[in-house]
Amino acid sequence: MKALIIDDSRAMRSILRRIVTSLDFETDEAGHGQEALERMESGPVPDVCLVDWNMPVMDGYTFITKVRANPDWRNVTLMMVTTESEQQQIVRALAAGAHEYVIKPFTPDAIAEKLEMLGLVGGAA
């Protein structure tokens, strides 16, 4: 499994990388949505993107709408990981095509449990 971690903070990317690496994911990283789109166009398509909302150049919401607009990427699971926690924002992100949503701050277990719920971790028979 491959995870693309998209967050403008290196420290946050580092935290997320450690969590998903411990769950046996290979990881790649991008500092904003535009960079992430370029990664996905040029490199292997990830199984899951962990996406921050507020980032420079291209925010995570825009990134999600762009990924969902491309049928080649319909199998990519999108999980927002963001401090954006107004209820209507969560509704918007889900409507735009995010599969799951994790609010910062989170504990490592939260990421693991959500990835498991999405069938990306653990003994899904």
Q: Distance of CA 100 to CAs 30, 41, 56, 118, Å?
A: 19, 23, 22, 8
Q: What are the residues facing 15 on neighbouring strands?
A: none
Span interacting with other proteins, options 20-28, 37-45, 63-71, 96-104, rule CB under 8 A = 96-104
Question: By CB under 8 A, how many residues form the interface with other proteins?
Answer: 39
Contact with other proteins (CB under 8 A): which of 5, 101, 115, 120? 101
Rg for the chain, CA atoms, rounded: 13
Element (H, E) at 37: helix 33-42
Dihedrals phi, psi of 70, to nearest 5 degrees: -105, 110
Binding to other proteins by residue 104, rule CB under 8 A?
A: yes
Binding to other proteins by residue 120, rule CB under 8 A?
A: no
Nearest distance in Å: CB 50, other proteins: 13
- Give me the residues that bind other proteins (CB under 8 A), please: 8-12, 14-15, 18, 54-56, 82-91, 94, 98, 100-107, 109-110, 113-114, 116-117, 123, 125
